[in-house]
Structure 1
Amino acid sequence: MSDATTHAPADRARASELGPVARFLKATELDTRMLGMVGALILIWGVFHVLSGGLFLTPRNLWNLSVQSSSIAVMATGMVLVIVTRNIDLSVGSILGFVGMIMGVTQAEIMPAIIGFGHPAMWLIAAFVGLVVGVSIGALHGFIIAYLGVPAFIVTLGGLLVWRGAAWWVTSGRTVAPMDATFRLMGGGPDGAIGSTWSWVVGIVACVAVIVMLMNARAQRKRFNFPQRPLWAEGFLGTLVCAIILGAVAVANSYAWPIGIVRRYYEALGQEVPENAFIAHGIAIPVLIALAVGIAMTFVATRTRFGRYVFAIGGNPEAATLAGINTRWVTMKIFMLMGGLAAIGAMISTARLNAATNAQGTLDELLVIAAAVIGGTSLSGGVGTIAGAMLGAVLMQSLASGMILLGVDTPLQNIVVGLALVVAVWLDTVYRRRIG
């Protein structure tokens, strides 16, 4: 008789002593902190929907909200690893602005003189240059922090000022536009979305992937004789996640192209505009980029040696060093990764604006840090999730979007963001005190 069979009656006896909610959470293994954040997000959406007269929870606003959240969500995934190691990066907004300006100048002024404007490789060259610059800045920050021993707060605070000034210096304050047509697809819009059919394909593939992951996890637990979730819990989780995915696809497909763009589309085809013509946006490309980054960063954080080293350093830096982990090199790689993610955020932001401006990324560092902390990343280090940070980015952008719909002044918006960050850190402190 196996140990699992021997302890089963005792486990069932302990489970029967719990309340129905506790038994449900134990069976499904849902993260209570994540549930709390989802509840807060639903509450915020409901309040803003009522106060805005029914404008917030519309396909148009939700689609725009997903696009607006993308660049912050991308950078928040890297900020999780930075904060997990008990560091901070205050420069991500300035890096975004500087890299965006470099990419703008590359494709609007430098490369057209060499290969001509509209060259098919233009967007690839601009993106490659942006990534190289972003990773190089991150490497510089990481080297100063890890090998010269300067605190991350000071290095990145200096970076905030240096790279914001450098962005202005590149063009003496000029706005650079327009961007390459293919590059602009990364910013969303009618052309920067994949349409109704492909959105359903992506949604169905995602659901199949979720089911396969659940089945594989169950098989692995059985293989190593680990406790398994009840079958009804597995079914509930699969159904819930697939319902959320397909619901999001349905919302994206409910947002139609503006009539003017529809008219130009049919005129370009030489056809009459059909009565009640409806062309769906579908999922925006920047949203797909953010989701791809989130999946990749989750894999890095949970399934690679580098990810294990990051959390080991955050949990106990001295013990990690004694265990043979090259903490300096890992720290430098974290900031290089953060710089690369800031470059991806710059691609999305610059493409969405169709211009590189000196105001790009201003105060984005606050939103990124707030998203990571609200998403459950502890400032004391060692704890954090990529999914939580991305959900935190949506929550922070929801606050901004709702206040804009209500006509709230920018200074008051900053006050609300600041209060949200303080409350999130306070709740994190209370939570850790309770479980400690």
Structure 2
Amino acid sequence: MTFTKKDVRNFLSSYKIIALVIVIAIIWTFFGFMTYDADLGGSQFLTARNFSNLLRQMAITGMLASAMVFVIVAGEIDLSVGSLLGFLGGVAAILDVIYHWPLFGTIAVVILLGIAMGLLVGWLTAYQGIPSFIVTLGGMLVFRGAVLGATGGITVAPVSEGMKVIGQGYIPGTMGNLIAAALFVLLVVMAFRTRAGRQKHALPVASMPTEIAKLVAIGVVILGFVLTLNSYQGVPVPVLILLVILGVFTVIGNQTVFGRRIYAVGSNMEATRLSGVNVNLVKLMVFGLMGLMCAFAGLTTTARLAAGTPSAGFGGELDAIASCFIGGTSMRGGIGSVVGALVGAVIMASLDNGMSMLGVDTFWQQIVKGIILVLAVWMDIVSSGNQRA
């Protein structure tokens, strides 16, 4: 059988997530083979402990990518998230270590500060007409300078035991099972609500057997995910936080008026404006969500390192943006999903983890990740059928 460019384009357009899961399987198989050691009892990559560490590493990028999807879908970009993460993580460390604030107070202040910074970026972009590229490029410099000034250029440590739990703790097996079951039920409800909505408006839907098979496959993945993590120490707290974010943001994107407006703004901003939608407010709120995720990521980073460091979050914006593009978010706006972005984050984390285990030099790791990013954007162009002649 011969596959044409049109066949490849249709497959990438219709089954992006499946294609990405296949990529993950290939990556894991490769690193599993390359790290096999009979003396140590098998592959060192394909172990519950390593998967736990991999997902913990991915969680921070995933938090940023989950909101970055909405920013890019709305036709904007945010280059300041890595620096804002570092600044907010530094603030958390200062309040916790130097001023001995209670954990709840520290979390509340960091979250409010993150939302405020995100809204400021959104206000400058949406209401003052400054391109988001310029605003966030300036923000990247401002926030990086702010964390250096706040910490004095030194590491602030050690954080309290309560703070450490956010980045280093685990959920007991029983609770992890209950959360996994709740997540699966949520996905089933959303799937059938979406199906009912499409049928109501006479839109095409998959056959019921196909829908059920898809949900069963998702259930098997979730079950394997939880059982694997429970065989080590349980579901890491950062991964649990990320799963909650996945559920909430998926509902926002697929089931709310606000989510539909985000996609409408990115698809055709002028038509959306003329239809009566407050485009500026939508963009403002999207950047506010981005600031919130920077707060979560900053708290998790400080907790995971047990310290606030001036270099925290360095390059985080690139990993988040790359995860979105790898996960199928279109650089032209209007297309993308939180699930896809998190799958992209898993790919990025798997590459980092696997190459580190193989002792690959850092510069080669950066080269490989850069190539993967370019290929992801090329796939977006191919799948949309907008190739240059």
TM-score for both structures, normalised by structure 2? 0.90
Q: Distance in 1 between matches of 2:217 and 2:100?
A: 48
Q: Percent identity?
A: 39
Residue 284 of structure 1 corresponds to which residue in structure 2?
236
* Partner AA of 2:135 in structure 1: V
Residue 240 of structure 1 corresponds to which residue in structure 2?
217
How far residue 287 of structure 1 moved from its aligned partner, in angstroms, is 0.6
Residues 419 and 98 (structure 1), Cα distance of their counterparts in 2 relative to 1, 3 Å cut: same
Q: Distance in 2 between matches of 1:300 and 1:213?
A: 11
How far residue 253 of structure 1 moved from its aligned partner, in angstroms, is 1.4
Q: Secondary structure at the match of 1:247?
A: helix
Larger of the two Rg values belongs to structure:
1
Residues 217 and 304 (structure 1), Cα distance of their counterparts in 2 relative to 1, 3 Å cut: closer
Which of residues 408, 412, 416 is equivalent to 2:360? 408
1:395 equivalent to 2:372? Answer no
Alpha-carbon contact 1:210-1:242 (below 8 Å) kept: no
Residues 163 and 217 (structure 1), Cα distance of their counterparts in 2 relative to 1, 3 Å cut: closer
Residue 295 of structure 2 corresponds to which residue in structure 1?
343
Q: Distance in 1 between matches of 2:276 and 2:58?
A: 39
How far residue 222 of structure 1 moved from its aligned partner, in angstroms, is 6.2
* Partner AA of 1:164 in structure 2: R
Residue 3 of structure 1 corresponds to which residue in structure 2?
none
Residues 90 and 212 (structure 1), Cα distance of their counterparts in 2 relative to 1, 3 Å cut: closer
Residue 42 of structure 1 corresponds to which residue in structure 2?
25
Q: Distance in 1 between matches of 2:309 and 2:268?
A: 41
Residue 14 of structure 1 corresponds to which residue in structure 2?
none
How far residue 111 of structure 1 moved from its aligned partner, in angstroms, is 3.6
Matches within 5 A, 1:34-433: 34-53=17-36, 54-112=43-101, 122-188=102-168, 192-214=169-191, 216=193, 229-255=206-232, 281-433=233-385
Residue 265 of structure 1 corresponds to which residue in structure 2?
none
1:215-243, Cα deviation, whole Å (9 max, x unpaired): 55556666666655434323312321111
* Partner AA of 2:381 in structure 1: T
Residues 81 and 236 (structure 1), Cα distance of their counterparts in 2 relative to 1, 3 Å cut: same
Residues 236 and 88 (structure 1), Cα distance of their counterparts in 2 relative to 1, 3 Å cut: same
Aligned residues: 373
Residue 11 of structure 1 corresponds to which residue in structure 2?
none
Q: Secondary structure at the match of 1:76?
A: helix
Q: Distance in 1 between matches of 2:310 and 2:159?
A: 15
Q: Distance in 1 between matches of 2:278 and 2:201?
A: 31
Q: Distance in 2 between matches of 1:404 and 1:185?
A: 25
Alpha-carbon contact 2:151-2:310 (below 8 Å) kept: no
Residue 263 of structure 1 corresponds to which residue in structure 2?
none
TM-score for both structures, normalised by structure 1? 0.81
1:48-73, Cα deviation, whole Å (9 max, x unpaired): 11112221111111111111111111
- Any gaps of 5 or more consecutive residues in structure 1? 1-21, 113-121, 256-280
